[in-house]
Every structure is written in C-alpha cells, then in structure tokens.
Amino acid sequence: MSDRIQFLGTSDGLPSGDRYHASLLLQMAGQTILLDAGEPCSHTLKRMGVDFDSIDAVFITHTHSDHVGGLPMLIQSMWLEQRERPLPLWMPRRAIAPLKRWLHACYLYEPLFKFPLEWHGLEDGTTAHCGNVRVRAFRTSHLNEAQRRFATKHSGVGFDAFSLLLEAKGKRLAYSGDIGRPEDLEALWAVPLDLLIVELAHCPPDRILEFLQNHPVEHVAFTHLSRSAHARLKTLRKRAVQGLRPMKVTFPSDGDAIRF
C-alpha cells in the first residue's frame, strides 16, 4: 500500500467558514503521524473514523494558535476514548513548559490519562524517529520578526518555527510548516523529494513559484493559502501548473488525500 497524507485543515491563520486550520495526518512506513493540531482536528479525526489510539506521534511545527489550537481537545479526546499507548509530542523546546501549563488550565492532568505524554523538544537539526520514519527539523525565519519585536518582554515561549523532512524506505516528504521567505525551503531538498507540502500564506505566491523551479521535487502540494490567494485559486493553479512543469502540482482542499 502506498503512503498517504490527508489534509485535515488547509486554511491560513484567518477565520474561515469553509476551511479548517492547519493539520495533516500522515501514514508512512506503517506509522500514523499528526503534523500540527489546528482546530478542530479532533472533530475531523473522529468524523473520519480514525482510532485515537492509532496515532503514533504528534509534531507541532510552531505554536501559532492556528497550528496548535486543537491540541488540548485532541488530548482530551484521546483520554475520553481510552487511549492507552504513550503519545510522543514533538514541538519547539521552549514551548513545552507553557503548553503543559495550558493543559493544566484546561484541567487535563496527566494522572487522569491511561497513556503517558512523552514531551520532546525540537531545535534546528533535531532528528526524531517514529518507527521506521526519520523526522528532521529545520528552523525557518517565520517568527524572526516577532522575535525582534517581542523577545525582550516575552521570551519564555521562544520564537522557533520548523519545517520537517520525513524519510522512510527510500521515500521523502517535506512539510514547510510556516516560512518567512522561500529560502527557508533550501534545507529540505538536499535529496530529491517525492512530495513537498508548502504553505502560501506568508510569502508572495509568485516568489514561491519562481523559487521552486528546477528543484528536485516530484510533486508539490500548496496548502495554507492566504485569503487573497484562495480567492484567485483558479488563476493561481493555472500559473503553478504551467510554471512548474513537469512537476506535479496540486492544491488540496480539506479532506483531500495524496498518495506518494
């Protein structure tokens, strides 16, 4: 069976009536991995019939609320659905302590659960393993401006955002997370990619399309489109298909899945 990734939410950070926030469910080399936990990911997983006990790990690329806002309800859902397996949670290292306090503020105390929460910190260059899947984290510039403005007074959570490169059995998938500039993607294609999932909310789409030309990517999927980009999706899709040929190009909607 081929590996697949399903897009639970494809919206940008703005409120949307027709798109949920960032969350993707990856099935790769026998592992089931949740990438980001934008709300309402637990509702979507339940509606899809996903067993909460089947999720092998959760990776949070950064802690903007549209990428992490569904995490407390996800943990609560796993508790109430009687999950028993340990749950590895990977996220920016300096976000772990604040997120633990957030769960406690929601009355989600670990002694309530039958499953241990295993907290792991991401830093630039971190390598994690989930079964046969190797996951490498690369810091992006997405939060650099926020760091410049707010780090002096609000340093506790850190200002780290990551892209993820996932590899198993000769297949390679990259998830951009949120980026600050196209050059943030450079670290992801030291080797050819079977699938690149890249956001289109924080860089002009034309810059992304130009940057992706002549890179070793078989298939690129654009997600997290800004409201303006989503409004002109038909035109944007045409330009992307023409400009990136022979690369396969898709613009997934919520619920769509890609096999690779």
* Phi and psi angles of residue 100, each rounded to the nearest 5 degrees, phi first: -60, -45
Enclosing H/E stretch for 89: strand 87-92
Catalytic choice (3, 12, 56, 66):
66
Q: What is the dihedral of CA 185, 28, 4, 35, to 10 degrees?
A: -50
- Cβ(138)–Cβ(187) under 8 Å? yes
DSSP assignment of 109-131: -GGG-SS-EEEEEE-TT-EEEET
CB 86 within 8 A of CB 118: yes
- Among 58, 33, 35, 28, smallest CA distance to 170 is for 28
Q: Is 51 a catalytic residue?
A: no
Return the SS3 of 74: helix
Q: Give the contacts of 240 (CB within 8 A, at least 6 positions apart).
A: 205, 209, 220, 222, 249, 251
Name the nearest CA neighbour of 129 among 165, 161, 97.
165
Task: Provide the annotated active-site residues.
Answer: 66
